[in-house]
């Protein structure tokens, strides 16, 4: 898989962040389509690319993320040769839990192949402990209401 962030500008509350994905031969299972586990990897890849593209250098240096829950609905198969676009946005962003939505879409026809919802917690790099993030960071990513 060769992900390329697109567009290079930062996602906003009204626009999802997108990542173009090329299906690799290793992504294909015995049934001739992309293995379900690969969709989870793509959901993580687009989340990481969004964070890298929208967070500051100081935020990258001090915060990393851990996933605490994944839910995926598989709707249609991705096949060898399909160009895939993963789109992500953050819904509800609380002090220590961010709800991230992902859609995996076939570029040729816009068909949604899978939808995922993941809960992520921010972790301080220096301590390895879950941490609260600033209201500014939360507001930059969130499309939903934040807790007080």
pLDDT digit string (tens) for the chain, length 148 residues: 333 333 333 444 547 899 999 999 999 999 999 999 999 999 999 999 999 999 999 999 999 999 999 999 999 999 999 999 999 999 988 889 999 999 999 999 999 999 999 999 999 999 999 999 888 888 888 775 444 3
Number of H helices, E strands in the chain: 3, 6
Tokens of 24: 């690799």
Sequence-distant (≥ 6) Cβ neighbours of residue 145 within 8 angstroms: 92
CB count, 10 Å around CB of 120?
A: 21
For the domain spanning 4-141, the CATH number is 3.10.129.10
CB-count exposure of residue 66 (10 Å: 0-12, 13-18, 19+): exposed
Sequence-distant (≥ 6) Cβ neighbours of residue 81 within 8 angstroms: 23
pLDDT for the residue numbered 144: 55
Whether pTM > 0.75 for this model: the answer is yes
Sequence-distant (≥ 6) Cβ neighbours of residue 92 within 8 angstroms: 98, 99, 142, 144, 145, 146
């Amino acid at each position: 898989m060769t992900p390329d962030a697109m567009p290079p500008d930062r996602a906003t509350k009204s626009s999802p962040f997108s990542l173009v994905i090329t299906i690799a031969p290793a992504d294909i299972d015995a049934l001739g389509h992309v293995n379900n586990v690969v969709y989870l990897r793509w959901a993580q890849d687009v989340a990481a690319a969004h964070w890298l593209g929208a967070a500051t250098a100081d935020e990258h240096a001090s915060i990393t993320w851990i996933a605490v829950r994944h839910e995926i609905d598989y709707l249609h198969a991705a096949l060898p040769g399909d160009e895939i676009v993963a789109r992500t946005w953050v819904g509800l962003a609380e002090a220590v839990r961010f709800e991230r939505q992902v859609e995996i879409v076939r570029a040729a026809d816009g068909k949604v192949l899978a939808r995922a919802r993941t809960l992520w917690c921010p972790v301080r790099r220096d301590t390895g402990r879950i941490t609260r993030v600033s209201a500014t960071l939360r507001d930059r990513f969130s499309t939903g209401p934040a807790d007080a």
